[in-house]
């Protein structure tokens, strides 16, 4: 396969808090190819948003990217090397902060945020913000940028774009605002758009419209997307390949059909089972046991084992990497679960864990630790 648009290799982002080090993103690797929509799925707190912000080097203090490599079209967004003193230091070929700001953010990689209510500056008109953004990133004159903004508003399906250009964000509904944000993200024709739960704040009908819009625009512009969400339904709808995150790690990585029909990780199975479906009542719904432990002190071994229905004794000891467990049409299907033969750590002989250790918030791991 051709060189990927974006390659993330063993990325680690940590937050250094008073209570200890939070490993929000703990060694994730994935690729995004041209024209593809890649899903980043997981429960709240899995590290999806931190991961996506890390791609733009926009992690705020006390957070810091501490390891790994991010390559975008052959350029190093982040990379470390060992200096002469043995300390890790930033590589020379890493893009400078100015280059990131002027060339990458907005122009090459754009972001659509979760909350359309909050993502537009309330004191300026929608059109003014769009125009300014286009002026800034594409170096157009004011009049050209204005025409372009109206054109973009029309493109994302806002009726009367010339009229609504002069309106303020509070005069737009949530769905319309999300369209504006999409217009803004698309305005500079970036190669990659990171969509951070862009439909979570919208109701389902509007969500459907937005997904359709993204699908159309994606076909038209060939933009790649990283689609961050916790909604498996959206994933099925829109994504080509999916990364499932749990507690800062990617635990399953597969093309979307494989993921749904040949699920390899118990967590993904659990996620799918906990999805409300019309053919099942609330009683039949299977929520995942317990809550996700805090990333500050993750459980030993497999991080999912305290909540995993398939957990065995070995899961407490062995921390599985994300290995290729299957192939479908040449695309690897990766999963981080020792029950697969690739791992060969004696899962089959191991004693199943008691159902008992229920995890509660604040005491990750329960009695296992």
Partner 1 sequence: MAIGESQLDSDGPSTDVDAQFGWRYTFGKVMQDTTARWGLYVVAVVLFISAYTLIDSNLSRLTFGAVSDFAAAEALPLFEHPERIPPPGEIESNVPPAFHPDGTLSHPLGTDPDGRDYFTRIVYGAQVSVSVGIVSTLIGFVGGTIIGAVSGYYGGWVDDVLMRIVETVYAIPPLILIIVFIVFVSGGTPDIRYAIVGVGITFIPIFARIIRSEVLSVREMDYIEAARASGVKNRDIILRHVIPNSFAPVLVYATLQIGVTILVVAGLSFLGFGAQPPTPDWGQMLNVSHGYMHSNVWLSIWPGIAILVTIMGFNLFGDGLQDALDPRIND
Residue 301 is a binding residue for partner 1 (CB under 8 A): no
Q: Report helix, strand or coil for 250.
A: strand
* 214 contacts 238 by C-beta, under 8 angstroms: yes
- Contacts with partner 1, 224-253, as mask; x by CB under 8 A: ------------------------------
- Contacts with partner 1, 179-218, as mask; x by CB under 8 A: --x--x----------------------------------
d(CA 352, CA 347): 9
Per the omega criterion (within 30 degrees of 0), is the bond before 62 cis? yes
Considering the complex, what minimum distance in angstroms separates the CB of residue 97 from partner 1?
A: 10
Considering the complex, what minimum distance in angstroms separates the CB of residue 161 from partner 1?
A: 13
Beta strands 241-246; 192-196: pairing state: unpaired
> Smaller CB distance to partner 1: residue 176 or 214?
176
> Smaller CB distance to partner 1: residue 100 or 338?
100
With CB under 8 A as the contact rule, the residue among 170, 277, 280, 369 that binds partner 1 is 170
Residue 94 is a binding residue for partner 1 (CB under 8 A): no
> Smaller CB distance to partner 1: residue 38 or 195?
195
> Which region among 129-137, 139-147, 230-238, 317-325 touches partner 1 (by CB under 8 A)?
129-137
Residue 220 is a binding residue for partner 1 (CB under 8 A): no
Residue 66 is a binding residue for partner 1 (CB under 8 A): no
Q: Report helix, strand or coil for 54.
A: helix
Considering the complex, what minimum distance in angstroms separates the CB of residue 190 from partner 1?
A: 9
Residue 75 is a binding residue for partner 1 (CB under 8 A): no
With CB under 8 A as the contact rule, the residue among 34, 102, 231, 368 that binds partner 1 is 102
Residue 317 is a binding residue for partner 1 (CB under 8 A): no
With CB under 8 A as the contact rule, the residue among 111, 145, 235, 315 that binds partner 1 is 111
> Smaller CB distance to partner 1: residue 130 or 288?
130
Considering the complex, what minimum distance in angstroms separates the CB of residue 173 from partner 1?
A: 5
Residue 117 is a binding residue for partner 1 (CB under 8 A): yes
> Smaller CB distance to partner 1: residue 114 or 224?
114
Cα–Cα–Cα angle for 287, 250, 272, rounded to 5 degrees: 25
Residue 115 is a binding residue for partner 1 (CB under 8 A): yes
Q: Report helix, strand or coil for 246.
A: strand
Half-sphere exposure of 172 (CA within 13 A, CB side): 31
CB-based contacts of 50: which residues, under 8 Å, 6+ apart? 13, 24, 25, 59, 63
With CB under 8 A as the contact rule, the residue among 61, 82, 204, 278 that binds partner 1 is 61
d(CA 227, CA 112): 10
CB-based contacts of 363: which residues, under 8 Å, 6+ apart? none
Site for partner 1 in 12-51 (CB under 8 A): none
Residue 142 is a binding residue for partner 1 (CB under 8 A): no
SS (H, E, C) 143-208: HHHHHHHHHHHHHCCCCCHHHHCCCCHHHCCHHHHHHHHHHHHHCCCCCEEEEECCCCCCCHHHHH
SS3 content of the chain, % helix, strand, coil (to 5): 30, 25, 45
Q: Which pairs from 57-63 meet CB under 8 Å and 24+ separation?
A: 57/97, 57/100, 58/105, 59/13, 62/15, 62/16, 62/17, 63/13, 63/14, 63/15, 63/16, 63/24
Give the binding site for partner 1 (CB under 8 A).
Answer: 53, 56, 58, 61, 100-107, 110-111, 113-115, 117-124, 132-133, 136-137, 164, 167, 170-171, 173-174, 176, 181, 184
């Amino acid at each position: 396969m051709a060189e990927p648009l974006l390659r993330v290799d063993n990325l680690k982002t940590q937050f250094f808090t008073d209570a200890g080090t939070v490993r929000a993103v703990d060694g994730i690797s994935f690729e995004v190819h041209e024209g593809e929509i890649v899903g980043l799925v997981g429960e709240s707190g899995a590290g999806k948003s931190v991961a996506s912000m890390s791609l733009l080097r926009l992690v705020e203090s006390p957070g810091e990217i501490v390891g790994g490599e991010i390559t975008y079209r052959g350029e190093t967004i982040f990379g470390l090397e060992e200096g002469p003193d043995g300390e890790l230091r930033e590589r020379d070929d890493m893009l400078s902060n100015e280059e990131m700001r002027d060339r990458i953010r907005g122009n090459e990689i754009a972001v659509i945020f979760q909350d359309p209510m909050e993502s537009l500056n309330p004191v300026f008109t929608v059109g003014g913000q769009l125009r300014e953004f286009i002026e800034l990133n594409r170096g157009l004159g004011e009049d050209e940028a204005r025409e372009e903004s109206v054109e973009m508003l029309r493109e994302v399906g806002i009726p009367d774009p010339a009229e609504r250009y002069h309106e303020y964000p509070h005069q737009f509904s949530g769905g319309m605002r999300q369209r504006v944000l999409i217009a803004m993200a698309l305005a500079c024709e970036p190669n990659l758009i990171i969509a951070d739960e862009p439909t979570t704040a919208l109701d389902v009908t509007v969500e459907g419209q937005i997904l359709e819009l993204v699908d159309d625009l994606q076909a038209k512009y060939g933009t790649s997307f990283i689609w961050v969400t916790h909604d498996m339904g959206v994933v099925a709808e829109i994504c080509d390949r999916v990364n499932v995150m749990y507690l800062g790690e990617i635990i399953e990585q597969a093309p979307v059909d494989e993921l749904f029909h040949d699920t390899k990780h118990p967590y993904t199975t659990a996620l799918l089972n906990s999805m409300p479906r019309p053919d099942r009542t609330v009683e039949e719904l299977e929520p995942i046991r317990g809550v996700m432990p805090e990333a500050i002190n993750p459980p030993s071994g497999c991080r999912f084992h305290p909540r995993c229905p398939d957990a065995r004794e070995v899961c407490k000891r062995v921390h599985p990497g994300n290995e290729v467990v299957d192939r479908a049409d040449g695309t690897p299907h990766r999963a981080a679960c020792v029950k697969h033969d690739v791992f060969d750590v004696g899962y089959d002989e191991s004693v199943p864990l008691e159902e008992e250790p229920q995890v509660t918030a604040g005491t990750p791991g329960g009695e296992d630790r």
